[in-house]
Structure 1
């Protein structure tokens, strides 16, 4: 028997809603077959079986499920499942947020996914309006449809009068609507500030000329992790009553986007691990992103985020601070810059921009500048690079 675990699809949520089973209870499934669909705050995701087996469901449609917990079991045979059921009182669990799913005069309240709940709160959608959808499980796309209908009801005539006859209208995808909900939540609740610093890559390029088996991303991860003790609030999690929970280790989440969606897997204990190991993990993360088969623990215990915006010609980027973090560090593209020697002679040097977007409730501008300056000093020193890579 194998547990069908729910992987952590993104770092913004603790769980998601199971919105549908693709396979009947007790049916045979095959490795890589889609068995269920869940909705996170960002998007609809497919849950795939990793082995062949006979499915036994542990949760019902509409259940709120925690990442890393089993939603089903996969047995080697029907007989094994029958034997299991004979010794179990019940294996079906249904959970919902407090207050959701209760019966009222107008019928039972629907169960909302996190993204749907955020959209409904943002736009003042009432419970009776959600109930009018006639759905037990309400997704973000359902709430968006109510919002769109409300906008059209209020201003359909004026919109029609002002629109050109050949105007094109594009509807956002379900995935993008969910992203919109998360971004709106971050901007509404986190007072973010921003600072950036230029980094001279001459010393780093010299090490690369010697055939070093690592890139700028890996050495930046090491430089960030090395500042864990000096800047603990940058690696903290906001708690209740104006408190911060300090991270015991410098676990660095790194954004990975290879065209299959945004993932933020975590490089554990980055300060103490060899840089070659980190490079291997980053390569494995990219392969897992392509195949969408991350391990269940790939997204856990993140302490700080590194957001990669190092595509050619990107000189500056300010991503959102993820809920549960105090900051996000950004790496931009490498570029050439004209500078002057002390006697005024022009020369060209390689540079990049490293930036930090931070929650101003916990970190101040002076802290951000000190942190960036410390990272810059490590990246510009051949001795520091050798120490980090050693």
Structure 2
């Protein structure tokens, strides 16, 4: 009986995906949980594994095809892999069986002599909107032993960074596309030998290898040798090459070195001498310079735009505001931050308090924790709070599960993990599925007040903002207090105005008296 291979269940925010690459062909044998096909969405690349061992009999969605959630991609059946494969090859080529067998014997001898079966390592299948990509980084050198599915190279496109993985255990035999090279969809990047490893490396030591470390397309800037992918980042961030420490062969500056320098801020160009401003002031300004730059909108940005417009068009969205006195939380944080970090190995921030306060408020106001599904209202008996994380590619919202049972340390640790994986592009689909409520913190960028937009199908979102000292009337006296504006955007179809205001006041009261969070009052 044939077993269906289905696409994963996409979350509400993902409508469809595209088949990026099939790792098996019809007639190939597969083991249970072995990677068969990859599905690329606007946020992540999903791996589809074999539900059972058997033979891949049908491919019903070709590479590049757009597929929906839970769509059947192919089928696995029982039977001989080689028999089906041979029949297909004979039918397509029309070669006599004897000639075909001779060719296969010759191929086996060649493979045996070279140390194992050889594969072409190809670039991923790009979507229709992407014409080409750039080989950003080779993570492995020729002859270096690698495991199956270990990352060999990164391909940068104008939308995403795609990973190219090893087809089996073995080693790279030859690199055909150096770092910085422009490659098209499914272009051959390298040849790969199964079971190569260190034995193959020793065989290649005496001949030149087209390795990413050979520097074929490197460039010398000052006294530094810079890889192509690193040059691109240096130009984008206007960095001083002399301040970047190269960790590659011979002090070569790699992409990772530049990324570290960008993160640390250690390679910024020094300000010019005091005479420079005067010189610049007297320099003639070229008239008529009205430059424009047109770049493609990323797929993630397109999805963000579509969903934001959808939220405003479909929800009766209103926003209510309040302000919270952060004196008590800041004092509590100052008193225990060192002890907290020693005990939990994580810094004590503000988000943990907000998540716990929101969790308690959601229990008291179930309408705010509900979602709208067509003409139905879905009340959630749990609190899964999404936390907006800013990345280079756009805003993503990973979800904290069961926040009511999480400790503040758990919240802080998870948020730090989300931020790191978001910047590295490592967030998975499971991280962003679901969510009953969302918190976004524009204060980290200096926002004093804003109107957040609801994340459908949720019915509310809380916006945090910058903490600013302001004069406040306290017990008939004017005192300077650290204040934060809070904004709650809500769907008036589901939530009445009084409940929205009471919900926000509850959060305010819990934050201004943190002991209430512990006492559950």
Q: Report the TM range for the smaller structure's normalisation.
A: 0.5 to 0.7
Structure 1 residue 25, shift from structure 2 partner: 4.2
2:444 matches 1:320: no
Q: Distance in 2 between matches of 1:308 and 1:84?
A: 59
- Please give the alpha-carbon distance, in whole angstroms, between the structure 2 residues aligned to 1:173 and 1:268: 32
Q: Distance in 1 between matches of 2:83 and 2:448?
A: 58
Paired residue for 2:503, among 368, 371, 374?
A: 371
**Would you say the 8 A contact 2:469–2:483 is kept in 1?**
yes
Q: Residue 240 of structure 1 is aligned with which of 374, 378, 393?
A: 374
**Counterparts of 1:54-65 in structure 2 under 5 Å?**
59-60=61-62, 61-65=64-68
Question: Corresponding residue for 2:69?
Answer: 66
Consecutive unaligned residues in structure 2, runs of 5 or more: 29-34, 50-54, 86-126, 128-158, 160-287, 341-347
- Normalised to the residue count of structure 2, the TM-score between the two structures is 0.48
Structure 1 unaligned blocks of 5 or more: 28-32, 74-79, 87-112, 114-140, 142-163
Matches within 5 A, 1:143-292: 168=292, 170=294, 173-175=297-299, 176-212=301-337, 213=340, 214-241=348-375, 243-292=376-425
1: distance between equivalents of 2:46 and 2:370?
Answer: 31
| Contact 2:12 2:434 survives alignment (8 Å) | no
Distance 2:391 2:362 in 1: 29
Which one has the largest radius of gyration? 2
Deviations 1:92-143 (A, max 9, x none): xxxxxxxxxxxxxxxxxxxxx9xxxxxxxxxxxxxxxxxxxxxxxxxxx9xx
CA gap of 1:199–1:251, structure 2 versus 1, over 3 A, is same
Aligned length: 293
Structure 1 residue 283: Cα displacement: 1.8
Alpha carbons of 1:72 and 1:199: their partners in 2 closer, same or farther (altered >3 Å)?
A: farther
Q: Write the mapping of 1:110-149 to structure 2, written as runs, cut at 5 A.
A: none
Aligned to 2:229: none
Equivalent in the alignment of 1:381: 513
CA RMSD after TM alignment = 4.1
Aligned to 2:18: 18
1:357 counterpart = 2:489 = yes
Q: 1:225 to 1:70 in 2, by over 3 A?
A: farther
How far 1:70 moved relative to its partner? 9.4
| More relative contact order, 1 or 2 (CA 8 Å, 6+ apart) | 1
2:380·2:436 contact (CA, 8 Å) conserved in 1?
yes
8 Å CA contact 1:306, 1:331 repeated in 2: yes
Q: Output one character per residue of 1:240-263: Cα deviation in whole Å (capped at 9) or x when no partner.
A: 33x311001011111112324322
Matched residue SS, 2:498: helix
- Which residue in 2 is equivalent to 1:301? 434
Give 1:205 deviation, angstroms: 1.0
